[in-house]
């Protein structure tokens, strides 16, 4: 299937260690459901974490065995798409508190052997991200190429940038906010009240054969209205009647929009747990990255570069909230691109506007920095080492360039396989005689295109990447760049 990651399966990992939650409560064990697409490269530098919204799950792309619908962000995840699985290793995990495989209120409470129900501790977006961090550590990934998501997924992406500034190079936050507003909390509360007013909810202790479907259905109907826009509803349904030509002067389902909302509500009760709805909407309410009422202060520690996207017709997470995020980042001198896409779909536009999303996300991810493609485990050699040592290290590691380090660990020079050949031909004895001391280097935060241009101008095929103290933190080679460009074509 072109453009698809094909058939996929959800994996599970359980961490026995307790997770200390923001509330001070403790959760153990913690199971995380996740899917991965694409391949993790040798340097483990091409991983992208995708975070889902309120009712999403780990199944972002491809098809489960026998299913006819793909994952929820299949339009942007796959070979050749924005989250290009030919280039990136994409990870998507289900949040804790959810009901799609990660530990949540429907999981078995080890203290009682029964489902947690309301004994499940209240969780926050920060807790969701802490649990995700365990998964990313478990996969051996020190730094994500990017973390991305829409709606609650965007909140998680922002939380990653604040909680783990070194753990993601890029952050993509779409149709989201950095702090929930009164209106957002209000809609969440109406949904929760609908669930809790259902007698079948039974204080959260409902059996599997008697679920609070009426309350959850109503909550989703209200919620779903907020995910659309006035224009989208008008365009989809107008004042059309459902299966009749005249109004009936009664209270049965008459309008198409009523029928549609019933359908959305019914479908939701078959795929979502009522208690998870309470917990996750509460986590949304608590989300607030501001410090002392200042978003700029709250985002000050972020180190990633950001893409912030809003949807013009989104009245649940209106564009002004995305602008606030972009302004707060810019106030800190943090690189940020902001774009409001034109769309009539409302909040769910981030799930439906594949063309605009692919263009914006793809362009943002393609803007690569040296640190995105450098090899971080490239071998080096000490200045005092012998030519024989240098030859051995090159052969063992199959490399042609060895940065030479001075005693203090800073860059003293570079030696190439050509230098070794010359040393043999001219009977040189020490590394000092053959290495180049005037080394052309690259900086981790410069664009790859700049480093490539320097290599081309000087006819050099690899540059040591050095930090501000001239310590070698990696190596960028023309081979790595041409592989990348080949894959982009």
Ligand X SMILES: CC(=O)SCCNC(=O)CCNC(=O)[C@H](O)C(C)(C)COP(=O)(O)OP(=O)(O)OC[C@H]1O[C@@H](n2cnc3c(N)ncnc32)[C@H](O)[C@@H]1OP(=O)(O)O
- By annotation, the residues acting in catalysis are 151, 314, 347
Question: From residue 119, how far is each of 95, 123, 392 by CA, in Å?
Answer: 18, 12, 61
105, 123 contact by CB (below 8 A)? no
242: contact with ligand X by CB under 6 A: yes
- Min dist CB 350 to ligand X, Å, is 7
Residue 46 or 344 having the CB closest to ligand HSE: 344
Q: CB–CB of 195/210 below 8 Å?
A: no
Closest CA to 378 of 464, 465, 474, 466: 474
Nearer to ligand HSE (CB atom), residue 53 or residue 129: 53
Closest to ligand HSE by CB, 21 or 95: 95
Q: Nearer Cβ to ligand HSE, position 116 or 272?
A: 272
Regarding 253 and contact with ligand X (CB under 6 A), the answer is: no
Listed ranges 34-42, 259-267, 304-312, 391-399: which one lies at the site for ligand X (CB under 6 A):
259-267
Four-CA torsion 286, 291, 293, 296, nearest 10 degrees: -120
What is the per-residue DSSP string for 237-295?
HTT-BSS-SS--SSSS--BHHHHHHHHHHHHHHHH--HHHHHHHHHHHHH-B--BTTBH
d(CA 12, CA 471): 40
For every residue of 183-199, DSSP letters joined together read HHHHHHHHHHHHHHHSG
Residue 386 is a binding residue for ligand X (CB under 6 A): no
Cα–Cα distance, 360 to 170 (Å, whole number): 13
Taking the complex as a whole, the smallest distance from the CB of residue 318 to ligand HSE amounts, in Å, to 14
From candidates 27, 53, 161, 308, binder to ligand X by CB under 6 A? 53
Min dist CB 484 to ligand X, Å, is 29
Stretch that binds ligand HSE, among 15-23, 47-55, 82-90, 403-411 (CB under 6 A): 47-55
Residue 345 sits in the site that holds ligand HSE (CB under 6 A): no
Q: Is 206 in the site for ligand X (CB under 6 A)?
A: no
What's the full length of the chain, in residues? 489
Kindly provide the b/e burial profile for residues 338-367, where b requires at least 16 CB atoms within 10 angstroms of the residue's own CB.
Answer: bbbbebbbbbbbbbbbeebbbebbbebbee
Taking the least distance from each CB to ligand X, the nearer of 122 and 352 is 352
**Residues of each annotated binding site for substrate:** 220, 348
Q: Taking CB under 6 A as the rule, does residue 348 contact ligand HSE? A: yes
Binder of residue 352, out of ligand HSE, ligand X, none (CB less than 5 to 8 A by kind): ligand X
Q: In the complex, what is the shortest distance from the CB of residue 354 to ligand X, in angstroms, rounded to a whole number?
A: 11
State the angle between helix axes of 478-488 and 448-458 in degrees (0 to 180), rounded to the nearest 10. 130
For the bound state, the minimum distance from the C-beta of residue 198 to ligand HSE, rounded and expressed in Å, comes to 20
Stretch that binds ligand X, among 35-43, 128-136, 168-176, 345-353 (CB under 6 A): 345-353
Subset of residues 96 to 155 that bind ligand X, contact rule: CB under 6 A = 153
Beta strand segments in 315-366, E: 336-341
Alpha-carbon torsion angle 303, 17, 275, 225, nearest 10: 20
b vs e for 194-231, b when ≥16 Cβ sit within 10 Å of the residue's Cβ? Answer: bbeebeebeebebeeeebbbbbbbbbbbbbbbbbbbee
Q: Does 10 bind ligand X (CB under 6 A)?
A: no
Cα(414)–Cα(463) distance, rounded to whole angstroms?
Answer: 9
Minimum CB distance to ligand X, residue 173 (Å): 14
145 lies in the binding site for ligand HSE (CB under 6 A) = no
Instruction: Choose the contact partner of 78 out of ligand HSE, ligand X, none; CB within 5 to 8 A by kind.
Output: none
**Which range binds ligand X by CB under 6 A, 80-88, 348-356, 428-436, 447-455?**
348-356
67: contact with ligand X by CB under 6 A: no
The number of residues that bind ligand HSE (CB under 6 A) is 7
- Residue 465's CB: how many other CB atoms inside 10 A? 27
* Contacting residue, 10, 109, 259, 400, with ligand X by CB under 6 A: 259
Nearest CB to ligand X, comparing residues 204 and 346: 346
Angstrom distance (rounded) from CA 283 to CA 167: 23
Instruction: Decide if residue 361 touches ligand X (CB under 6 A).
Output: no
- Near ligand HSE by CB under 6 A: residue from 132, 151, 269, 343: 151
From CA 300, how far away is CA 346, in angstroms rounded?
A: 30
Question: Among residues 335, 332, 276, 272, which one has the least CA distance to residue 300?
Answer: 332
Q: Which stretch binds ligand HSE (CB under 6 A): 53-61, 62-70, 198-206, 352-360?
A: 53-61
SS3 content of the chain, % helix, strand, coil (to 5): 40, 20, 40
Q: For residue 76, what are the contacts with CB-CB under 8 A and spacing of at least 6? A: 82, 83, 354, 357, 358, 361
Rounded least distance, CB 100 to ligand X, Å: 10
Q: Tell me which residue of 56, 58, 77 sits closest to 9, measured CA to CA.
A: 58
Residue 56 binding ligand X, by CB under 6 A? yes
Binding status of residue 56 toward ligand HSE by CB under 6 A: yes
Query: Does 72 participate in binding ligand X (rule CB under 6 A)?
Result: yes
Q: Which residues bind ligand HSE (CB under 6 A)?
A: 53-56, 151, 227, 348
**Residues binding ligand X (CB under 6 A):** 52-53, 55-56, 72, 153, 242, 256, 259-260, 263, 267, 348, 351-352
């Amino acid at each position: 299937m072109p453009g698809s990651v094909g058939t996929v399966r959800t994996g599970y990992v359980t961490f026995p260690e307790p997770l200390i939650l923001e509330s001070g409560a403790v959760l153990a064990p913690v199971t995380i459901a996740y899917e991965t697409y694409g391949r993790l490269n040798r340097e483990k530098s091409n991983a992208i974490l995708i975070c889902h919204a309120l009712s999403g799950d780990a199944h972002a792309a491809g098809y489960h065995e026998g299913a006819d619908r793909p994952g929820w962000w299949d339009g942007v995840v796959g070979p050749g798409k924005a989250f290009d699985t030919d280039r990136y290793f994409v990870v998507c995990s289900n949040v804790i508190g959810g009901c799609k495989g990660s530990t949540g209120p429907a999981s078995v409470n080890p203290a009682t052997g029964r489902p947690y129900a309301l004994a499940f501790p209240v969780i926050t977006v920060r807790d969701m991200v802490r649990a995700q961090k365990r998964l990313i550590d478990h996969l051996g990934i020190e730094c994500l190429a990017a973390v991305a998501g829409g709606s609650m997924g965007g909140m998680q992406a922002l939380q990653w940038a604040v909680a783990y500034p070194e753990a993601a190079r890029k952050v993509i936050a779409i149709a989201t906010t950095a702090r929930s507003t009164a209106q957002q909390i209000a809609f969440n509360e109406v949904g929760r009240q609908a669930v809790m007013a259902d007698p079948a909810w039974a204080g959260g202790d409902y059996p599997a054969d008697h679920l609070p479907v009426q309350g959850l259905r109503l909550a989703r109907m209200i919620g779903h209205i907020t995910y659309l826009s006035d224009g989208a509803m008008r365009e989809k349904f107008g004042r059309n009647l459902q299966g009749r030509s005249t109004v009936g002067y009664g209270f049965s389902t008459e309008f198409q929009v009523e029928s549609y909302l019933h359908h959305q509500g019914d479908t939701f009760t078959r795929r979502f747990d009522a208690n998870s709805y309470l917990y996750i909407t509460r986590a949304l309410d608590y989300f607030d990255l501001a410090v002392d009422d200042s978003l700029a202060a709250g985002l000050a520690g972020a180190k990633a570069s950001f893409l912030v996207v809003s949807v013009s017709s989104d009245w649940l997470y209106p564009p002004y909230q995305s602008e606030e995020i972009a302004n707060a980042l810019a106030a800190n001198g943090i690189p940020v691109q902001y774009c409001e896409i034109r769309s009539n779909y409302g909040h769910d536009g981030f799930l439906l506007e594949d063309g605009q999303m692919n263009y914006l996300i793809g362009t943002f991810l393609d803007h690569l920095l040296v640190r995105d493609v450098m090899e971080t485990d490239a071998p080096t050699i000490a200045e005092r080492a012998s030519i024989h040592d240098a030859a051995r290290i090159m052969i063992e590691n199959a490399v042609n360039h060895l940065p030479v380090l001075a005693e203090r660990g800073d860059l003293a020079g570079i030696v190439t396989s050509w230098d070794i050949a010359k040393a043999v031909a001219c009977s040189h004895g020490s590394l000092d005689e053959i290495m180049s001391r005037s080394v052309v280097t690259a900086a981790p935060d410069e664009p790859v295109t700049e480093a490539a241009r320097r290599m081309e101008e000087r006819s050099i095929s690899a540059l040591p990447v050095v930090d501000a103290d001239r310590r070698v933190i990696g190596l960028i080679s023309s081979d790595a760049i041409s592989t990348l460009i080949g894959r982009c074509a």
